[in-house]
Amino acid sequence: MVISFKRGWAKILPFNGIHEPSTAVSVLIAARNEEEKIHLTIEDILRQNYPKHLLEVIIVDDHSTDRTAEIVLSYAAKGVTLIKLNEDQALNSYKKKAITEAIKIATGKLIVATDADCRMGPDWLRTVIQFYETTGKKMISSPVSYFEEKTRFEELQTLEFLYLIGLGASAIGNKMPSTCNGANLAYEKDVFFELKGFQGIDDLASGDDELFLHKVASKYKDGIGFCKSSKAIVYTHAKPTLKEFIRQRKRWASKSTRYKNKLIIVLGVCIWLFNLLILLNVALGLYSRYFLELAAATVVLKFLAELFFLREVTSFVKRKQLLWYLPFLTCLHVVYMVYIGVAGNSGKYHWKGRMVR
């Protein structure tokens, strides 16, 4: 599987746009209690090397209890539009509702979604739009990476996260789109309305990125692209605590059984069983050395396959030094995958002060 993803990554050619973009763009952000960082994100977007008359920024305040809305309003004179959700009935996916409300008033041909705690370079938007205009893709997934890590735990998350981003890009390269990240995602507004937005997937708190990706892929088989450019990278932060990390990954895993492409679900189950068998062999190793040796050999092969793939992905984001964590991550990942596969599909969880499923 990893070898096939390596091929998929190689199929995606590096992109370097040179022409002047001309597409009207709406950058959308759904924000909830982001007073600490949202001003940095807004400043980065306003500094984009992109024609001002072709850019609009819409931020939806999702019932924040801090100064998020106030901070966004302070940028009104610079063209930033604020929408405040006023739902009086509980929803399971406020983020999908927020994005939908923003798209309803968006004037851009292309929707570019990011998060309220992200940072980006001045050529981020320009590069994504150049890729769109060059390829004509209906939906564009672009790279996301963690940065400014303060602990080894956060650096470990960065390596694991790059693995996920690389796998998502590689699947697109293999023409079997499976994953993407809503912190750096673009799609045509007309396609959103054509597919009736998040209808059919709006009962889950997560999935505004991956599940909608699958909707687009089911309609436009070759309409998904990955912008493989360092200028297109969006940066965000790893979770500072294990508790927050687990909550995030449970949220991500909760949508796995809802994929339209059942082959992806089968693949996910096989990966889960693969890791479960390693743990079972370790347990059986208490009674027979043969099973312990089998588990050790499997983990070594797993490590070599992941190293083979991650060398290029980490090189792309200029973080090859993180590969020193790979031996530890390879072992830890076995336990993590088995746990999160069960926990992520076992009912409700907390996210940003809410109980969701």
pLDDT of residue 352: 64
CATH code where residue 38 lies? 3.90.550.10
Contact assessment for residue 356 and residue 92, using Cβ atoms and an 8 Å cutoff: yes
Confirm whether 45 is domain-assigned: yes
- Number of Cβ within 10 Å of residue 86's Cβ equals 7
What's the Rg (C-alpha) of the chain?
20
User: What is the rounded CA–CA span in Å between residue 79 and residue 20?
Assistant: 22
Contact assessment for residue 9 and residue 312, using Cβ atoms and an 8 Å cutoff: yes
Same domain? 224 vs 129 = yes
Confirm whether 255 is domain-assigned: no
Contact assessment for residue 226 and residue 173, using Cβ atoms and an 8 Å cutoff: yes
- Domain ranges, residue 293: 262-346
128: left (phi over 0), alpha (psi -120 to 50) or beta: alpha
Same domain? 218 vs 296 = no
Q: Is 275 exposed, middle or buried (0-12, 13-18, 19+ CB in 10 A)?
A: buried
Same domain? 267 vs 244 = no
Same domain? 179 vs 242 = yes
Confirm whether 257 is domain-assigned: no
**pLDDT tens, 214-240?**
999 999 989 999 999 999 999 999 999
The last residue of a domain, from among 196, 225, 248: 248
Same domain? 237 vs 271 = no
Number of domains, the chain: 2
Same domain? 102 vs 177 = yes
Residues of the chain with pLDDT under 50: none
Confirm whether 188 is domain-assigned: yes
The last residue of a domain, from among 222, 248, 274: 248
The last residue of a domain, from among 248, 281, 303: 248
Same domain? 16 vs 71 = yes
Same domain? 274 vs 236 = no
Same domain? 266 vs 157 = no
In the chain, the percentage of residues whose pLDDT exceeds 90 is 79
**pLDDT tens, 240-266?**
999 999 988 888 777 776 676 778 888
310: left (phi over 0), alpha (psi -120 to 50) or beta: alpha
Contact assessment for residue 119 and residue 235, using Cβ atoms and an 8 Å cutoff: yes
Confirm whether 302 is domain-assigned: yes
The three-state secondary structure class of 355 is strand
CB burial of 193-211 (b: ≥16 within 10 Å; e: otherwise) equals eebebbeebbebbbbbbbb
Same domain? 227 vs 299 = no
pLDDT of residue 311: 96
Same domain? 187 vs 274 = no
pTM: 0.92
- The encoded tokens of residue 250 equal 């449970």
Confirm whether 256 is domain-assigned: no
Confirm whether 59 is domain-assigned: yes
Same domain? 152 vs 272 = no
Confirm whether 356 is domain-assigned: no
Q: Which residues contact 283 (CB under 8 A, 6 or more apart)?
A: none
